Amino acid sequence: MPSPAPEPLAIVRSLGLAGGVRATAVAGGTDTTIWRVETDRAAYALRLYRQGQAAVAEREVVAMSAAAGAGLAVPSVHASGTWQGRPVLLMSWMPGHPLADEVGGHPWRGWRLGAEFGNAQAALHRVPVPAALRRHPVPWIEWAGPDEALRARLQAVSDQPGVLLHLDYHPRNVLVAEGRVSAVIDWANVRSGDRRADLARTASILRFAPLGVALSPPAARLARTALMAGWRRGYRHTAGATGGMAPFYAWAGSVMLRDLTPRLGRPDLPWLTPAFLVRVQDWTAAWRSRAGLPP
């Protein structure tokens, strides 16, 4: 028998938020359910995790605290707890709109918004890594699955000590307001590691993931190209150039394939088709070849 649907008002009351409260479901991540919760005084994001994700929620809190301490705009946690065995966070509702929507609605701003996007990622990589995030039960390299050649190459070339990695840094997890980044959200994948892993992960998402707006194919291509060019320029301007990216791109492609292949056929992902996965496979294979890795 399926579990009853979560009741957001009951959850927020269990966290001590009393009085007149309104809750509206919003699009969430793969593993969480999110509502916008409003009172007469403030708006919050209520994030409910799956059972067994207490450690994920704890790492998010640690990461956001470190990022806020370094001056990044991130949600602040107002309350935390559990609801029917599931971790839950009540966080500030951040201003702005997803960068993807801004680019989709104003594609001529793609380069400038991309530069802001890159600047913010460079700032993220300067955040001191908290001790609690220096180790993870599943290190970032292992995301690519059982690939001994790739693992050995990455271990040999990765910078130590690592920087703070968001690992889901893309235009739906970065909000903008008045042309500037107003928040970086969804820190569930946070780890410590080589910054090139974070850049490769972002590059793979920018290249393949849909912007999620109704642009014509030519306009979408132009917007995507401008966004990616601005992102690279913004990051380099703030953090300097990066080299030796080939094995990291190969890793990012493998991660995307491992993540998306089991979701093929889901009605909420109409863009995820066998042809899409073939494109990712071809891109990944090309970078493996450039890195001198076996097919």
Half-sphere exposure in the Cβ direction for 235 (13 Å, CA): 22
To which residue do tokens 């899409």 refer? 276
Map out the domains of the chain with their CATH numbers: 20-92 (3.30.200.20), 97-290 (3.90.1200.10)
Q: Go through 27-64 and write b for each residue having 16 or more CB atoms within 10 A of its CB, e for each that does not.
A: eebeebbbbebeeeeeebbbbbbeeebeebbebbbbbb
Exposed / middle / buried, residue 174 (Cβ in 10 Å: 0-12, 13-18, 19+): buried
| 295 residues of the chain, pLDDT tens digit each | 456 778 888 999 999 887 788 999 987 666 689 999 998 889 999 999 999 999 999 999 999 999 999 999 999 999 999 999 999 999 999 999 999 999 988 999 999 999 999 999 999 999 999 999 999 999 999 999 999 999 999 999 998 889 999 999 999 999 999 999 999 999 999 999 999 999 999 999 999 998 866 788 888 899 999 999 999 999 999 999 999 999 999 999 999 999 999 999 999 899 999 999 999 999 999 999 999 999 9
pLDDT of residue 248: 98
Which three-class secondary structure string do you get for 31-59?
CEEEEEEECCCCEEEEEEECCCCHHHHHH
Q: What angle do CA 138, 141, 144 make, to 5 degrees?
A: 95
For 104-127, what is each residue's pLDDT tens digit?
889 999 999 999 999 999 999 999
